[in-house]
Structures are given as structure tokens and as C-alpha cells.
Amino acid sequence: MADAITLDFEALAREVIARCQTLARFSEDVAGIRRSFLCSAMHDCHREIAAWLVPMGVASRVDAVGNLRLLYAAAKLDAPRLLIGSHLDTVPNAGPYDGILGVVLGVSLLSALKGRRLPFAVEIIGFSEEEGVRFGTPFIGSRALTGTIDDETLNLVDAQGISIREAIRDFGLNPMEVSDAALREDVLGYVEFHIEQGPVLDSFCRSLGVVEAIAGQSRLEFTFIGRSNHAGTTPMNLRYDALAAAAEWIGTVERHAQNTAGLVATVGTIHAKPGAVNVIAGDVRVSLDVRHQNDADRNAAVDYFVSQAENIATRRGLKAKSNRFVNQPAVPMDPFLINEVGQAIARAGCEPFRMVSGAGHDAMIMGQKVPAAMIFLRTPGGISHDPAESVEVVDVAKAIECGLHLLNQLAFTSESRARAEVEFERVTNHAESGSNA
């Protein structure tokens, strides 16, 4: 491993930030950043990133769903691989760091190795799709690696009626080869650097965080059914106001979430009918998003919110019904990698800060197939998915230093395991030869 003393981490960090800004220029929009799944700007991204790694002799390819795959060979042939990656697509009017920073940091780590080969290969992955913007379904890139892209997914269409299958062809790829993108059995694990996209690290003045789990998520729609009537002529005690019932329930949701450790619950949309200023609302539909790292706690909260909606409606002479349309289990990160990341952060001079990701990431998909870990970087002001999204040079520098320590630790573990296996084989062979004498 390159000696940390000889590396200028702040200079490397400034280079990472500059490269993220370069990639931000590759956009479908002139006035902002928007890079959806397999848009033409993604070709430019691929060419730019691959060019950075040419001096290192890194082999690059694009798989059948448009993931950029960059392989830094190991010291020996047929060695296992460590995956480092994140996504290259963006939301509309995006910031320059969400997803992209994780890919560029991986490139920087390879550069900082100064040509040293590890006992495992390192594959940098720029996932083609994570946000779910173009086709209404997220994680197309990482789902291809885990082998969970099926014909139903490939037949999904965008707003222009173009299917995922057709988009793959239009990008110059072959949809018949999607299964070839799936991981083999030679993967040690997956590591993802990502901006937090929230205010927690910033509020605690911490540069880096160790993600212990990605929260499970439930999404529901609630409907409160009352009776519309004239706003001026209906006395308050004779009303069946669906909006008033929904408002009472929303307050209950907020109070319960505030009093339950680790729970977040959000009512994000309200649609009241008939929607006139002088008419009592007779029908109100609201959304509910519930997240927690523990599935039992999340499901218990959902059950409570459903029962409270029914109780409030009954007391007011209304009806309430609910429909759960998302039930995403929580994904714990790998305990071994969590510990290794914590040690690497400490060796970089930061106190490890363990936390839960409330947002979904590629690591939650990869973690269902291989050991996975996430390292969060502070997001100043907690701002993300917005042009004002930013990072601090010192945090990026600490992330690079942490990443190098992590590679060194994993290399030591791999070498120790290899030596142990050789010794075990030697002792076993010796014992067998002795028993045959």
C-alpha cells in the first residue's frame, strides 16, 4: 500500500471534486444536471471515467444494462474481487455528488495505490440506474448484477413508450446479454461511498459515518370517507369532515414517530375532494411513508397507524381504508465489513459514527447477494437532490484516507487467510502421508 505519509489527501480530494464537476457537464439539460438511464450523456460519462484509468492499465467495459465496469487486476490471476461503486444516473435538477462521488472516489483509491497490486482485484462499478426516474423502477443497474432483472422489468416503458429492452438496444447494447452482467462466485464484497443526503453527520460535526443498515420502508395510501356539504350552512357538530379526520390522524402519526426511537413517518401528499373553498371535504386521500432499521418496529408502527385511522374515522362517523403498496425489508450491512470500515475511519483520524441510512441505495440490493458496506460523507446543510448539494474537501480527503486503510486491512486479512489455507493444506497432506506410511 502506498505510504499514507507520502500522499497529499487534500490534493486528491480537490481532484475528486473537480472530476465530479466535470461529469456534471454531461447532462440531458443545458441549464441543469439530469442524466437518466441510458441517455446519450451516459456515453460521455463512460468515456471520461475510463480515460482516467487508462494510465493504470485498467480494463473497462459496459455491460448489457449500461453499467460501467472497471477492473484493476490483482497480484495473482484468478483472485477474488472487491467491488467499489455507486450510480451515475441522477434525478432532474440534480446536484453533482449524489452517486457520482462514490464512483470517482473509487477511481481515486486506485490511483493512490501507485501501481501496487492487492491479493484481490478491485472492480469499480458505475451503475447505470438507481433513481428510478425514467422507467419508474429503481436499481436497474444493481439488480442486473444480482440477477433479478426479468422479462417483466425489461418490458416496462417510459413516458415516450420506449421499453427498457428498446432503450438497451438504442444505447448500442444487447438485451439478450443482461444475464451475463450477474455476479460470479468470486466476489469478496461490495463497498459504497455516498453522501449522506441528510443532516445527521453535519449536526454532529462528523466527516464520515458507518452505515449499519439501510432502513426498511413501507408506503401506504389512506382514504378517509365522509360527506361533502355546504361550508356555511352545516353546523360544526353535524359535519362528517374527511379532511378534519385526516388532519387529526396526521398529528397522531407525527407524535408516534417522535416518540419511537429510530422511526420516521411522513405524510407527503394530501388530495381532498371536491377541493372547493366553501365545501366540506367528503373524500381525502393521503400518502404515508414509514421507515425503520428494524422490520418488526416498522410493521408495528404501520399497524398502529392503520388502527388509529380506523378509530378516528369511527369516532367521527366516517370510514377509513388503507392500501400498502410498498413493503421493502431493511437490509443490514455485513458485520465484518462494518467493523473493518469503523477501524479504517478511526485510522483516518475520525471517530467512527454508526448510523442508519433512511434512503435506499445500491448497497441494499447488492447486500442481498454479497457482503456489503456503506460509508457516508457529511452533506453540508443536509442538502441533496438539488443544485446546492455540496461536499467539504476535508471530508473527501478523510474518505480517501479511510478507503486506503480499508483496502490495506482487507489485503492483510486476505493474505492471512491465504497463508492459513496453505498451512492447513500442508498439515493435512503431511498427516495423510503419515497415515499411509
Reported confidence tier of residue 430, pLDDT bands at 50, 70, 90: low
* CATH code 3.40.50.970 for 216-328: no
pLDDT tens-place string over residues 243-275: 999 999 999 999 999 999 999 999 999 999 999
CA distance 225 to 313: 8
Q: Provide the pLDDT for residue 436.
A: 57
pLDDT band per the 50, 70, 90 thresholds, residue 6: confident
pLDDT (tens digit, 9 = 90+) per residue, 147-188?
Answer: 999 999 999 999 999 999 999 999 999 999 999 999 999 999
Q: Where in the chain is the domain with CATH 3.40.630.10?
A: 4-214+330-422
> Any idea what the Cα angle at residue 230 is, between residues 225 and 232, rounded to 5°?
130
Does domain 4-214+330-422 correspond to CATH entry 3.40.190.170?
A: no
At residue 326, the pLDDT reads 87
DSSP 82: E
Ranges of CATH 3.30.70.360 domains, the chain: 216-328
Which strand (E) or helix (H) includes residue 81?
A: strand 81-87
What sign does the dihedral 72-78-82-84 (CA atoms) show? positive
Angle between helices 9-24 and 41-53 (to 10 degrees): 150
